[in-house]
Amino acid sequence: MLISASIVQGSSLGPASYDVTAADLMPLHADNQFVKYAVVPAHSIHTRAAELDHIAAWATEIKFDAEYAQVIFYDSRRRHVVHSPPLLSGIARVYTLKVLRVTCSSHLSASEHIHHVISDSAQSLYALRVLRHHGMNDIGLQTIFRAVVVTRLMYASPAWRGFATATELKQVDEFLRRCKRCGYCSSDLPDFEELCWTSLTTGCSARC
Regarding whether 201 and 119 lie in a shared domain, the answer is yes
Is residue 51 a contact partner of residue 32, using CB atoms and an 8 Å limit? Answer: yes
pLDDT in tens, 27-71: 777 777 776 555 677 677 778 778 777 777 777 776 665 566 667
186, 129 contact by CB (below 8 A): no
Domain end residue (candidates: 40, 68, 94): 94
pLDDT of residue 122: 92
90 and 149 inside one domain:
no
- Do 86 and 138 fall within a single domain? no
Q: What is the pLDDT of residue 8?
A: 55
The tally of domains found in the chain comes to 2
Q: Do 116 and 148 share a domain, yes or no?
A: yes
Q: Do 133 and 50 belong to one domain?
A: no
pLDDT at residue 81 above 80?
no
Instruction: List C-alpha distances in Å: 22 to 15, 16, 26, 52.
Output: 10, 10, 9, 15
- pLDDT of 25 reads 73
Residue 202 · residue 154 · CB < 8 Å? no
Q: Is residue 11 part of a domain?
A: no
Same domain, 53 and 122: no
Average pLDDT over residues 68-78: 64
Q: What does the pLDDT read at residue 167? A: 92
- 203 and 115 in a single domain? The answer is yes
Q: Does residue 82 form part of some domain?
A: yes
Read off the pLDDT band of 3 (50, 70, 90).
Answer: low
Q: At what angle do helices 138-145 and 111-133 cross, to 10 degrees?
A: 150
CA distance linking residue 106 with residue 94, whole number of Å: 8
Q: Are residues 58 and 146 in the same domain?
A: no
pTM: 0.63
Q: Of 64, 94, 124, which one is at a domain's C-terminal end? A: 94
Domain end residue (candidates: 62, 94, 126): 94
Helices (H) and strands (E) in the chain, counts: 8, 6
User: How many Cβ atoms are within 10 Å of 153's Cβ, its own excluded?
Assistant: 19
Confidence of residue 78 (pLDDT cuts 50, 70, 90): low
- Quote the pLDDT of residue 205: 39
In a domain, 153, yes or no: yes
If asked whether residues 117 and 88 sit together in one domain, one would say no
Query: Which pLDDT tens digit goes with each residue over 85-139?
Result: 666 666 677 778 887 788 888 777 889 999 999 999 999 999 999 999 999 999 9
- Interacting residues of 172 by C-beta distance below 8 A, sequence separation 6+: 114, 118, 153, 192
Question: How sure is the predictor about 208, in pLDDT bands with cuts at 50, 70 and 90?
Answer: very low
Mean pLDDT of the chain: 77
Domain that holds residue 161: 111-207
Residues 143 and 194 in one domain: yes
Whether 10 is covered by a domain: the verdict is no
- Cα gap 123→149, rounded to integer Å: 10
Residues 75 and 118 occupy one common structural domain = no
Whether residue 5 has pLDDT greater than 60: no
Give percent of the chain with pLDDT exceeding 70: 66
> How far, CA to CA in Å, does 124 sit from each of 111, 132, 186?
20, 13, 16
Flag whether 62 is in a domain. Answer: yes
> Would residue 2 count as lying in a domain?
no
